[in-house]
Chain A
């Protein structure tokens, strides 16, 4: 708990700096660290606005897992955010996977992978397993991804493909959709 409060203080401090900079349009070239701090917060918040099918949890106390595959841009920051937080009785935890083959048990999957073929495999694998896939690759949604971060007017925003979410039987809160850009890429054969 102490840790959380400490983190919130750090977070507040950093966000304040970020907001300060956002006023002077330097965010486009802002430090990746600050950008990913915000993305980490968003990532956690996605868990609060998304409903997973009941069978995606084996028990009531089973943790909700945010998985990171490949390069980890958040450092320990994401863990500090989710520490102690819950989602409908499930404790929220972060797991790092070296290999996407291991990522089948998570609920939110963030990855930062350059190889399109590998991306496609991960996305296809996640669809059957009710995993909310999140990335910041430009072509992510076209490849069947669900949520993509992007930067617009010096702010971090995200696009959502509802079709992809529906396929994975994930239900996104309309409130989340309000603040997102809904993009529906053509069906992938």
Chain B
């Protein structure tokens, strides 16, 4: 696990342990080296002291040629188990008496060396002059092993290990206790932050545990929470206001819209009654007062009737347009092939447009409102029949193709066509590109088509060249 990812408590514990270990280790090494140095010095000094005592005691033995006495003096070294060998040389350098500890095979120097002690391969050895007053009587040789230092270092290592573990235990306990003052506020802060992010409850506050940096952090954190809570409540209030406002406005708009629709419906509807009267009475005038009217009168009544019929159609279209908004958009699968045949059959009037050459391609079924789609086909096919009527051989082609997730249907004719520059006007209500004299119409049909297809989730567009025919496309989502 990466150190950066550890919890703070473990992190601090590890830091304390590491420092503790380093300090103890360095201190241990320092004391160890010091101890070794002190021990070497003291071993040398001790050996030197022993040497001086033995030498001082051996003077008479050497002076009066008593090797037995010398042996006795040297054997006192038994009490010092680390001294492995000792011997006395007389003043002529000849071995006079020796002492060897039981368990060692020590080789004694053949003749005395210069006074002084030195370390050699795990031993301390050296020579001491034996003097009585100023008279030199011989030389003492002493050899000590370093067992004492190992014994002492073993004890030292034991003590060191004990101190090491005890201090680690103490450090662990102290850190556990003292860390609480650091980790508890942090953990409380973290807990508060988590509670807030989980429950989105900004009313929670962290408890301050001291006046240190963590206390300041807790204060700042709580202040931030105050601010967030305040802003949150402001925002909520604002949101609520906005929602209420939108709801109110929507209701307002809906009612206005409904009023408008019912108004236009009733207007259109109510307009039909007087119109019917006009048509009826004009017909009566033509039928029953035919002989009483001169030619001009007959023409005028004919014009009145024609315009009245036209107005009636206009009102019908407007009614259809406004009715569409009021209808529910109930979708079902539509057999387009059958629908197109039906529409075609209803529009073909014997003796009028029988000469049209029809070409109907494959039309896949779609999922949409059948009444609406039927209206679309009626308008588009009707337009094609109307605008190709003046051609000698009118042709109407109906087909479809897939485009992404939509199916595109088209109705193509070889009629009058239109100027593409005005194609943006095509689908707007009461916008016409031809005069009523050229082609009669109300200017509502294509607007209705556009409205229906938009509601079904598709789009409408057209291509044309003036005099060479037009092609109208509409797309619907694939079933």
A residues in contact (CB < 8 Å) with B: 8, 11-12, 15-16, 38, 42, 45, 48-49, 85-88, 155-156, 158, 173, 175-176, 178-180
Contacts and interface: CB of A to CB of B under 8 A. Distances in A.
Contacts of B134: 86
Contact of B92 (A12, A176, A180): A12
Contacts of A38: 65
Q: Size range of the interface on B?
A: 10 to 19
Contacts of B56: 175
A45 B66 CA distance: 13
B2 interface: no
A86 B69 CA distance: 26
A48 B65 contact: no
B60 interface: yes
B92 A48 contact: no
B60 A49 contact: yes
Given A8-B92, A175-B57, A85 B135 contact: yes
A70 B133 CA distance: 30
A94 B109 CA distance: 38
Contacts of A175: 56-57, 59-61, 132
A176 B439 CA distance: 164
A180 B57 CA distance: 14
B453 interface: no
B309 interface: no
B3 interface: no
B64 A176 contact: yes
A47 B297 CA distance: 191
B92 A45 contact: no
A156 B60 contact: no
B285 interface: no
Interface in B106-137: 132-135
B63 interface: yes
A176 B60 contact: yes
A43 to B, nearest CB: 11
A185 B359 CA distance: 172
A8 B321 CA distance: 154
A46 to B, nearest CB: 9
B132 A158 contact: no
Given A8-B92, A85-B135, A86-B134, A45 B61 contact: no
A85 to B, nearest CB: 6
B64 A42 contact: yes
Nearest to A177: B60
B108 to A, nearest CB: 18
B65 A178 contact: no
A125 B63 CA distance: 29
Contacts of A158: 64
B74 to A, nearest CB: 13
Nearest to B72: A178
B56 to A, nearest CB: 8
A178 B92 contact: no
Given A87-B133, A175-B60, 19 more contacts: A8-B91, A8-B92, A11-B92, A12-B92, A42-B63, A45-B64, A45-B135, A48-B59, A48-B63, A48-B135, A49-B132, A156-B65, A158-B64, A175-B59, A176-B60, A176-B64, A178-B69, A179-B63, A180-B64
B69 A179 contact: yes
A86 B132 CA distance: 11
A8 B59 CA distance: 18
A85 B137 CA distance: 13
The list of the 3 closest CB pairs from A to B, nearest first, reads: A175-B60, A45-B63, A12-B92
Given A155-B65, A156-B65, A179 B60 contact: yes
Contacts of B132: 45, 48-49, 175
A48 B94 CA distance: 22
A42 B65 CA distance: 9
With most chain B CB atoms within 10 A of its CB, the pick from A15, A38, A86, A175 is A175
Nearest to B66: A179
Contacts of B135: 45, 48, 85
B385 to A, nearest CB: 157
With most chain A CB atoms within 10 A of its CB, the pick from B57, B63, B91, B134 is B63
A30 to B, nearest CB: 14
12 contacts: A42-B64, A45-B64, A45-B135, A48-B132, A48-B133, A48-B135, A85-B135, A86-B133, A87-B133, A173-B60, A179-B63, A179-B66
Given A155-B65, A175-B59, A179-B66, A15 B92 contact: yes
A49 B56 CA distance: 12
Nearest to B63: A45
A93 to B, nearest CB: 15
Contacts of A11: 92
Nearest to A19: B94
A40 to B, nearest CB: 13
A15 B63 CA distance: 13
A178 B60 contact: yes
Interface string B341-372: 00000000000000000000000000000000
A179 B97 CA distance: 15
Contacts of B60: 49, 173, 175-176, 178-179
B92 A88 contact: no
B99 to A, nearest CB: 17
With most chain A CB atoms within 10 A of its CB, the pick from B59, B66, B69 is B59
A49 B63 contact: yes
A68 B390 CA distance: 184
Interface in B59-109: 59-61, 63-66, 69, 91-92, 94
Contacts of A173: 60
Contacts of A48: 59, 63, 132-133, 135
With most chain B CB atoms within 10 A of its CB, the pick from A42, A156, A179 is A179
